[in-house]
A = this chain, B = another copy of it.
Amino acid sequence: MPEPANTALLPAGLHDVLPPDAAHEAAAVERLMAEFAGHGYERVKPPLVEFEESLLAASGAAMTQQTFRLMDPLSQKTMAVRADITPQVARIATSRLTKAPRPLRLCYAGQVLRVKGTQLRHERQFAQAGVELIGALEPEADAEVVLLAARALEVVGVRRPTVDLCVPTMVPLICRALGISDEDTATLRAALDRKDIAAVTAVGGPAAPLLERLIAASGPAERAMRALEALELPDAAEKDRRRLRAVMALLRAAQPDLTVTIDLVEYRGFEYHSGLSFTLFARGVRGELGAGGRYRTGTGGEDAGEPATGFTLFMDTVLRAVPMTPPPRRLFLPHGTPTDVAARLRGEGWVTVAGLAHADDEAAEARRLRCGHRLAGGATHAVS
């Protein structure tokens, strides 16, 4: 459809999604949700708005700066518009579904709203779709969500999605074991996110040689694992290596051709994660298609709440990696076409477009209404 330049009507980062994109997005979301449901994940739908104190509790705190507030005239309390659905699903699991058997598999899809866009994502509203697997600590749980994310992306048409695994807990464990101060650890993490070897060398002290080797080891999964296995790690970091090894083995057994890379030093974006985490990419598409990983449903340390893992797909980016489906076959029905005839044609797969008044030139009218076919004399005819 034509799009005049008159789009200044909407605030920056907010958009009207027009035909055929809106239908394309909805179909992709529902296809993803069907895949999640097939793996036993049951759909929940939290509200767009909650009390601020509940929405920004626990892992929700990461979104404090990105969250719009509203005053609730009924309760006189501050409400917040969700900027992320994951914390809401964790809340549901630990409140209303606290008695449901574990592991609890939940999935969701919905819109989120953010105060500001980022350089990589100008949109302030976009759709999220994802899963949470709650109450399971096994490597099998980590592998299940990674494989499901990759599989779901393939199902909606993403060609060869890439999984970037990381273990955001490993660097802090190494730093603590080697006596690095919290302040230096924070500096190192920022340097590691930038892969800034000079800064790591300068600040790393006794941890520098190991951290440099972790940077060098990052890359394609098999090579990264070989390099990681060759390293001498502090005992405290051993559990992270063991987990990565176990999950990689499960991923390879299940899907040998999945493209997996490993980043052993990445931290950015995983501040609230407590274990194996991952990011999803597609070749040739800018930005993350999704992200996920391990976290705890409560606040206050390693034993808070329940162990959980999951992922969220960002539909704005996912759709850039999904080929457009062919447009529906539109059939023009001349004025007065009986209802049962129209219903039969829809049953045959046609999209019917009814003429609301007599048209002298029905072929021209069909063309004007973007119909590739028209009904005449009881039969369908292509409109040249």
A→B interface (CB under 8 Å): 1-4, 6-7, 9-23, 25-26, 30, 33, 37-40, 42-51, 54, 68-70, 72-75, 77, 79, 81, 88, 91-92, 95-101, 103, 105-106, 108-111, 113, 115-116, 125, 136, 138, 140-141, 144, 147, 253-255, 328, 330, 335, 338-339, 346, 350-354, 356-357, 368-370
Contact = CB atoms under 8 A, between A and B. Distances in A.
Contact of A11 (B6, B16, B72, B335): B72
Contacts of A111: 48, 110-111
A44 B30 contact: no
A50 B4 contact: no
Contacts of A91: 9
Nearest to A133: B356
Most buried by B among A12, A69, A346: A346
A11 B96 contact: no
Given A11-B77, A255-B339, A357-B138, A113 B49 contact: yes
A103 B356 contact: yes
Nearest to A331: B40
A226 to B, nearest CB: 24
11 contacts: A11-B74, A12-B74, A16-B46, A17-B44, A17-B45, A22-B44, A23-B43, A37-B351, A47-B125, A48-B111, A48-B113
Given A9-B91, A37-B328, A351-B37, A42 B20 contact: yes
A45 to B, nearest CB: 4
A91 B12 CA distance: 17
A126 to B, nearest CB: 10
Contacts of A353: 39-40, 105
